[in-house]
């Protein structure tokens, strides 16, 4: 518990308004599909690889097939019906062979009706079901490993980033970080990958400010962390990013390779990568259904708002975004234990009472979401290059995390905004975290703000402001999409019809069929 005296009527009102504000977005996601959602269907059915005749191996077969279906019959009916109709009719012996016909320009697609449509549905359901069965097995395997090796002995989990651009350099750094105390390894994605409308294939060694998210890179890092986890006697979790134009596909690839957490915010790509809002909301619903089934914890990106807006004046927008992310996640099937809702330690440290304000905001998040493993982000905006001051700020951040019962603590670097951290920087940062968490112990049990005092009153003010903003969003016919257009979050304005990827969004026709959506909506056996 947070120890705050939150008004239960106000809290209930906030959630009611969040549901109303999110309703138009949910309706949009249910009634539309995208090229990436349709490509995910083919990935679940086992289609891999790239067309060797195009783009030096950079054009995946899933892109080629979906593009061919789109050109010949449109995507309003989905990709499953025309593809498995072609297979059922004997046009090709396998999905891979059909893809090669697409590459040769000989594949022909039609949308079946009647008994032909029923046969195509049955065949598609069987093929996609095999992929989902593999993923269910991965979830069961994770649970077996956690039971055998054990979880970290304390919360919050220590979350550390590695990403050199070269997956083979990332692996030893990740293993070293785990040996030094990290519980969760996050591999930052290569700059600009979210703007690619395809997922690169294979192991990569040339990323910029990060490493490409690919199925093979996921597999390699998962194996490396399993190896070091067995050595250490505890399960080490792996995180990557399911966002951008290929959000659903990356979610599927993560699932297929047993990742444990994924960055998956409802609005990050819209605000910070200028990806079209409609494309993003359709893709995020599908990706969150995948994460729900896989038992993956999502991490949301509210901390990013505070890098562009004032962390005190705009604190209520973080709360609003958390409530909206919660509503969208629940609708897609995620449970509270899977909601790594984001917030950050970004108040100007020169501001009087800054630490008390940080505690108020962190306790508000903990009080609103008592069962969520909140992801607490370290200072970045006000890091100046003074490594001694930065190390002290990170210590205060770690103390705030211990005092307020955060679930996932991202390790702050004293060289933030100066250089890409060296291994020695990470080692010092991990020592800082370990010292504070060991010294503070379960201090959260003893820390209770005075009712009506500074911290309690500040939390109530932020919640009241959040309810006021939610009322304005909920009362608008377009709800959340219009709030984004108005610059509500992170002061960035994004038009409903602007940004990248709108041409890949399609309203579903009356005969649209997606076997993945059908199967993801069902409870997995044995889970």
List the catalytic residues. Answer: 268, 303, 375
**Which residues lie closer than 8 Å to 170 by C-beta, 6 or more apart?**
162, 163, 164, 187, 211, 221
- CA distances to 365, 392, 486 from 460, rounded to whole Å, are 11, 29, 25
With residue 360 as reference, give the H or E element that holds it.
helix 354-368
- Cα end-to-end distance, the chain, whole Å: 28
φ, ψ of residue 76 to 5 degrees: the values are -65, -25
H-type helices in 233-353, by residue range?
247-256, 268-273, 277-294, 305-308, 315-331
Among 118, 31, 74, CA closest to 510:
31
Residue 477 CB neighbour total at 10 angstroms: 7
Phi, psi torsion values for 24, nearest 5 degrees:
-60, -35
Residues in the chain: 527
Helical packing angle, 114-149 and 215-232, nearest 10°: 30
What kind and span of H or E run contains 79? none
Alpha carbon distance 516, 62 (integer Å): 15
What are the angstrom distances between the C-alpha of 101 and each of 39, 84, 143, 199, 475? 17, 14, 41, 21, 51
Distance of alpha carbon 343 from its chain centroid, rounded? 14
Contact in structure between 366 and 405 (CB atoms under 8 Å): yes
Structure tokens at 492: 């960035």
Give the Cα separation of 251 and 132 in Å (integer): 12
Kind of pairing, strands 32-34 and 505-507? antiparallel
Question: CA-based Rg of the chain, rounded to a whole angstrom?
Answer: 23
- Give the separation between CA 35 and CA 198, rounded to whole angstroms: 10
Beta strands in 330-394 (DSSP E): 339-340, 342-344, 375-377
Strand, coil or helix: what is 99? helix
């Amino acid at each position: 518990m947070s120890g705050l005296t939150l008004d239960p009527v106000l809290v209930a009102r906030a959630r009611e308004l969040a549901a109303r504000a999110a309703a138009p977005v949910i309706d949009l996601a249910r009634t539309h599909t995208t090229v990436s959602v349709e490509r995910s269907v083919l990935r679940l059915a086992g289609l891999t690889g790239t067309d060797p005749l195009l783009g030096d191996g950079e054009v995946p077969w899933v892109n080629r097939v979906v593009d061919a279906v789109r050109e010949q019959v449109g995507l309003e009916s989905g990709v499953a019906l025309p593809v498995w109709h072609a297979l059922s009719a004997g046009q090709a012996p396998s999905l891979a062979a059909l893809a090669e016909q697409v590459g040769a320009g000989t594949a022909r697609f039609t949308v079946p009706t009647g008994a032909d449509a029923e046969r195509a549905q049955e065949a598609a359901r069987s093929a996609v079901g095999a992929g989902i069965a593999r993923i269910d097995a991965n979830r069961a395997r994770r649970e077996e490993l956690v039971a055998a090796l054990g979880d970290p002995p304390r919360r919050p989990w220590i979350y550390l980033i590695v990403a050199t651009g070269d997956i083979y350099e990332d692996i030893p750094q990740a293993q070293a970080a785990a040996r030094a105390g990290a519980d969760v390894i996050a591999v930052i994605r290569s700059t600009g990958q979210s703007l690619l409308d395809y997922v690169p294939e294979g192991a990569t060694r040339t990323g910029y400010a990060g490493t490409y998210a690919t199925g093979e890179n996921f597999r390699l890092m998962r194996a490396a962390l399993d190896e070091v986890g067995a050595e250490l006697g505890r399960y080490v979790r792996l995180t990557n990013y399911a966002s951008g134009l290929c959000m659903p596909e990356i979610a599927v690839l993560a699932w297929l390779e047993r990742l444990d957490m994924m960055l998956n915010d409802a609005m990050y790509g819209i605000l910070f990568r200028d990806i079209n809002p409609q494309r993003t909301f359709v893709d995020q619903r599908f990706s969150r259904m995948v994460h729900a089934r896989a038992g993956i914890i999502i991490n949301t990106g509210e901390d990013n708002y505070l890098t562009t807006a004032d962390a005190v004046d705009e604190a209520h927008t973080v709360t609003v975004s958390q409530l909206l992310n919660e509503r969208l996640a629940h609708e897609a099937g995620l449970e509270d234990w899977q909601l790594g809702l984001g917030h950050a330690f970004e108040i100007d440290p020169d501001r009087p009472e800054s630490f008390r304000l940080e505690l108020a905001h962190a306790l508000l998040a903990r009080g609103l979401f008592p069962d969520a493993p909140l992801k607490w982000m370290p200072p970045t905006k006000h890091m100046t290059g003074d490594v001694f001051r930065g190390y002290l700020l990170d210590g205060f951040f770690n103390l705030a995390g211990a005092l307020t019962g955060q679930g996932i603590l991202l390790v702050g670097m004293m060289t933030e905004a100066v250089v890409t951290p060296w291994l020695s920087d990470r080692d010092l940062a991990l020592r800082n975290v370990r010292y504070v968490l060991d010294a503070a112990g379960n201090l959260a049990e003893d820390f209770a703000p005075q009712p009506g005092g500074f911290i309690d009153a500040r939390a109530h003010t932020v919640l009241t402001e959040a309810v006021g903003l939610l009322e304005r969003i909920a009362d608008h016919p377009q709800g959340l999409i219009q709030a984004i257009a108005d610059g509500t979050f992170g002061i960035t304005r994004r038009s409903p019809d602007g940004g990248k990827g709108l041409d890949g969004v399609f309203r579903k026709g009356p005969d649209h069929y997606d076997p993945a959506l059908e199967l993801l909506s069902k409870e997995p056996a044995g889970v």
